[in-house]
Structure 1
Amino acid sequence: MPQSIFVNLPVADLARSRAFHEALGFSIDENFTDETAACVVISEAIHLMILTHERFEGFSVLPRADTTSTTGVLIALSRDSREGVDDMLRAALENGAKEPKPADDHGWMYMRTFMDPDGHVFEAFWMDAEAALAARKLES
């Protein structure tokens, strides 16, 4: 099995969170889904495990973050284009997300930030890697 990442996120309402992630275009792996958890498939190697608070607390060694006052994690998801970034943000906003700050546009990188209904922070971004490397060299 190739190395994969499973990011575990506590959610207050599993059905709402599942519907939110499906509205962003992600699928659910029913093999790893039950009444306390759902496996959101972002790509072959990237998954979100959205877990009820009780289920999450069964795994966590520390109290879960209060996402109304702290950021527990920033999840950056690449998109193929600027339009893809805007499309993801639009879908997120239409399904209960909030945009806490304006778009960040460096020319070679374009990013939009949204907070899902549980307050988890996602950053959808597009980057021209060659232009980014050129910009770093100019800064050096």
Structure 2
Amino acid sequence: MVPAIRLPSGPTLFVLVSGVVSLCVVWIAKRRHSARNKRPSNSYKQIPTKWNQVGIVTGLHIYPLKAGHGVSVDRAYCDRKGLTPIEKESVGPLSDRCFILYDRKERKYITNLAHPRLILVKTLALDRNIYE
């Protein structure tokens, strides 16, 4: 003889069913979201065969101090950290956003959104012999 299984009823059954349904909804939502944002495996390795013009470069600027005044450069090399000027004499050993203002007491970065006059701060490297 098979023993009878006693199923919960009333509020206990409601809590169990709603928990299972909630877990299913979260699982499905995560699965749909992650699948939507994935690229085909080799798409990042393929070089496009058709190019579309999206704009015209009229000038290059680097901003050694993030949110500070920009410096115009004629040529620049693009690396992982941003733009680095090719002509070292123009700005010295500075690259794009290599400095940032930080308030230790508040533990916050200082930006020109909170301090609009920060855009007036110009950055210049005084030691130009660093490349020799």
Which band: TM-score by shorter chain? under 0.3
Instruction: Point out the structure with the larger strand share.
Output: 1
Please identify the structure whose Cα radius of gyration is greater: 2
TM-score (norm 1): 0.24
When normalised by structure 2's length, the TM-score is 0.25
